[in-house]
Structure 1
Amino acid sequence: MLKYVISAAMLLGSSSTMATIVEFQTSQGNFQVNLFNQTTPKTVENFMKYVNEDRYQGVIFHRLEPNFVLQGGGFFYEGSIPLSQVESFGTVDNEPVYSNVRGTIAMAKVGGNPDSATSQWFFNLKDNSQNLDVQNGGFTVFGQVIGDGMEVVDKIAKLETCGSIPLVDFSQDKCSDDQVNPDESNFISIEAVTIVDDNENTADTLTPVKNTLLKPTEPDNGGDNNNGSSSSGGLFSVLMLMGAGVFFRRRYNR
């Protein structure tokens, strides 16, 4: 893996779990995310565990669905294929308070299990509320991109993919050639996630959209219900946690 400089703020210990603004430093540019630590406290605490233990350093964006989601937090490249998986701290309770509108970050999870999120998350590239706010108990939004950060996210979202993995300088001819592997320069990596502002009230100036579609009394069966969610919700939820690992195992481990 690449060696990265660790921000001093990342070494603050338990107090850093209250940080509400973090910066994603990526190979395609930096952007900031305001975390909703007061309204989704369990999810933010879970996310910050990975930050404080440096487990997001070197992870790649392993799934891109244009005009839908950009996903990371699950895999990293250690010089060979298949990709290595991020070590998990375990699952976290679902907190579907906010809506999956464009520019928000939400937790990925396994289909049919609302409380199955671990390390993986995704950025909503468009308003996905009609689908993701209702299926599988609702996908937990725990922050939003601030400032001009979506310019960087959108830049990554315009890259070509190999399978569903966004890569740079890796043609479709190379992607279709089983003997050609992408390397560190091709993957979109997160060099660090650093704390910018640890004032727990930074979200006071924001007006996140509430999830009003999910009713507490609604039965959930992975998204295959009649409340307006997509009938493919269960499958989508499973794929949210698979993606890169499955693709590269099939492609290179023969």
Structure 2
Amino acid sequence: MTNKSLIKAVGIAAGLSFVPASFATVVDIETTQGTIQVNLFDQSTPKTVANFLTYVNEQSYVDTVIHRSVEDFVVQGGGFTFDGETLQPIDVNGTVDNEPEWSNIEGTIAMAKVAGDPDSATSQWFFNVGNNSANLDLQNEGFTVFGQVVSGMNVVEQINQLETCGDVPMVDFSDSDCTSNVTPTDANLVKIISITVSDSSTDTEDSVDKVPNIFEPITPTPDPGGDDSSSGGSMPLMLIGLLGLMRLFRK
């Protein structure tokens, strides 16, 4: 199998109720590029934090790959491992209700989801590298921000500055390697080594200056002509919740 192989979509299971094994506020996300410390908003986005901690406690994120990086936009992970040839989706527990309380400003962590389905987040998350409030606060009823980087934002930025093959950030892997379909190794990928709880208290959220999400529900205005089709605007963003097929490496 070559690196042209396609990754099959992850099925979105029915919604589940999540009960975390521990109720943490601060976690250390250790990557092959360095450690990122995140203060989780467990008080204001409890369902999302509980969902995230379920994967942490199950060690589902260990050895996963940072599979998407878009310059000055996002760095995304939490969805795939690498089997030596292709990215393989991790098992997901189900969907979690959207909790768009806080804005997608620089340095926050938020849940990825399927376009057109506000309550479709499962395991994948992303760091906002830039101020994406004007975009991601409004799309798909707002992307749920559930924490903020308190140290290690330089690591996020370092990952975001790596060369990419497709959207995948790569280490010591040239554009020529990518276009020539050279098979990468683990050393060429940015991987999650571990995510651990470093502060299990539940009262540190107030120490973070948060910005409210600017999404406001809008009541659709019926088309006087009775046409159900839509027009105008940009294509909705799918922060890889993956429906359909996706290529890991470009041709």
Contact map agreement 2:111 2:145 (CA 8 A) in 1 = yes
Please tell me whether residue 34 in structure 1 is matched to residue 39 in structure 2: yes
- Seen in structure 2, the aligned counterparts of structure 1 residues 114 and 172 have a Cα distance that, compared at 3 Å, is same
Matched AA of 2:198: V
User: C-alpha displacement at 1:84, in angstroms?
Assistant: 1.1
Instruction: Give the structure-2-normalised TM-score.
Output: 0.84
Q: Which moved more, 1:80-89 or 1:133-142?
A: 80-89
Question: How far apart in 1 are the matches of 2:148 and 2:72?
Answer: 17
Task: Measure, in 2, the Cα distance between the counterparts of 1:26 and 1:250.
Answer: 24
* Structure 2 counterpart of 1:75, one-letter code: F
Specify the SS of the correspondent of 1:174: helix
1:14-68 Cα shifts (integer Å, max 9, x gaps): 451x101000000000110000011000000000010000100001110000010
Stretch deviating more after TM superposition (200-209 or 93-102): 200-209
Q: Give the corresponding residue for 2:193.
A: 191
Unaligned runs of 5+ in 1: 1-12
Distance across 2 between alignment mates of 1:174 and 1:199: 46
Distance 1:73 1:59 in 2: 6
Q: Which has the higher helix share?
A: 1
Q: CA deviation at 1:218?
A: 4.4
Which residue does the alignment assign to 2:160?
A: 157
- Residue 139 in structure 1 maps to residue 143 in structure 2: yes
Instruction: Work out the CA distance in 2 between the residues paired with 1:106 and 1:191.
Output: 20
SS in 2 for 1:159: coil
Q: Would the aligned equivalents of 2:21 and 2:57 in 1 still touch at CA under 8 Å?
A: no
Query: Aligned pair in 2 of structure 1 residues 66, 59: CA closer, same or farther (>3 Å)?
Result: same
**Shift, 1:242, TM fit:** 3.6
Shift of 1:241: 2.2
Within 2, Cα distance between the matches of 1:214 and 1:14?
28
Question: Matched residues in 2 for 1:74 and 1:129: separation?
Answer: 23
Report if the CA contact (8 A) 1:82-1:249 is conserved.
no
Identity of aligned residues (%): 49
Paired residues, number: 224
How far, CA to CA, are the matches of 1:183 and 1:218 in structure 2? 50
Shift of 1:215: 1.2
From the superposition, tell whether residues 218 and 150 of structure 1 become closer, same or farther in structure 2 (CA, over 3 Å): farther
Alignment correspondent of 1:215: 216
Aligned to 1:66: 71
* Residue 162 of structure 2 is aligned to residue 168 of structure 1: no
Aligned equivalent of 1:47: 52
RMSD: 2.1
In structure 1, distance between residues paired with 2:189 and 2:249: 17
Q: Distance in 1 between matches of 2:140 and 2:115?
A: 6
Q: Which residue of 1 aligns with 2:102?
A: 98
- 2:88 is aligned, of 84, 88, 105, to 84
SS of 2:186's partner is coil
1:217 deviation in Å? Answer: 4.2
Residue 186 of structure 1 and its aligned partner are, at CA, apart by 0.4
* Partner SS, residue 248 of structure 2: helix
Alpha-carbon distance change, 54 to 173 in structure 1, aligned in 2, over 3 angstroms: same
TM-score (norm 1): 0.83
Structure 2 residue runs of 5 or longer lacking an equivalent are 1-18, 221-229
The 2-side partners of 1:169 and 1:116 are apart by 35
Runs of 4+ in 1 over 4 A off after TM superposition: none
